[in-house]
């Protein structure tokens, strides 16, 4: 209660690009990042035959890395972050050609 008004309990909210939930498990935030990073992975597969490895690295840092590292210091220690790091390994394998 705040004065005479009842404040509703929110289970998750988006604040400065981070999706925070009331337990700070970061599952909702990671679930919002996964589709963005998956589409980046597809884009890398499409443009790989046309770009050099240095150009692919430049695209990696501008597209994938910027999405992944935003708020990483907060959500990076979460149990669910392994999914994101597997996607990162997939992108690096595409760049290197393994």
| Residue 52 structural domain | 12-96
For position 33, what pLDDT does the model report? 93
Q: Where are the beta strands (DSSP E) in 1-98?
A: 12-15, 18-21
What is the predicted pLDDT for the residue at 23? 83
The per-residue pLDDT for 46 is 93
pLDDT (0 to 100) of residue 35: 95
Does a structural domain hold residue 33? yes
Residue 36 is assigned to a structural domain of this protein = yes
Residue 1 in any domain: the answer is no
pLDDT band at 36 (very low <50, low <70, confident <90, very high): very high
Q: Name the domain count of the chain.
A: 1
Q: Is residue 1's pLDDT more than 80? A: no
Task: For residues 10-31, give the mean pLDDT.
Answer: 87
Report whether pLDDT(9) > 90. Answer: no
Is residue 53 situated within a structural domain?
A: yes
pLDDT per residue as tens digits for the range 37-91: 999 999 999 999 999 999 999 999 998 999 999 988 988 888 888 999 999 999 9
pLDDT at 93: 92
DSSP lists the bridge partners of residue 21 as 12
* Residues 63 and 41 sit within 8 Å (Cβ to Cβ): no
């Amino acid at each position: 209660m705040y004065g005479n008004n009842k404040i509703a309990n929110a289970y998750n909210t988006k604040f400065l690009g981070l999706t925070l939930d009331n337990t700070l498990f970061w599952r909702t935030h990671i679930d919002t990042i996964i589709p963005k990073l998956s589409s980046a992975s597809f884009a890398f597969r499409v443009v790989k035959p046309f770009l050099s490895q240095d150009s692919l690295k430049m695209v990696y840092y501008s597209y994938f890395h910027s999405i992944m590292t935003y708020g990483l210091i907060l959500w990076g220690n979460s149990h669910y972050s392994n999914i994101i790091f597997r996607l990162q390994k997939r992108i690096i394998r595409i760049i290197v050609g393994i």
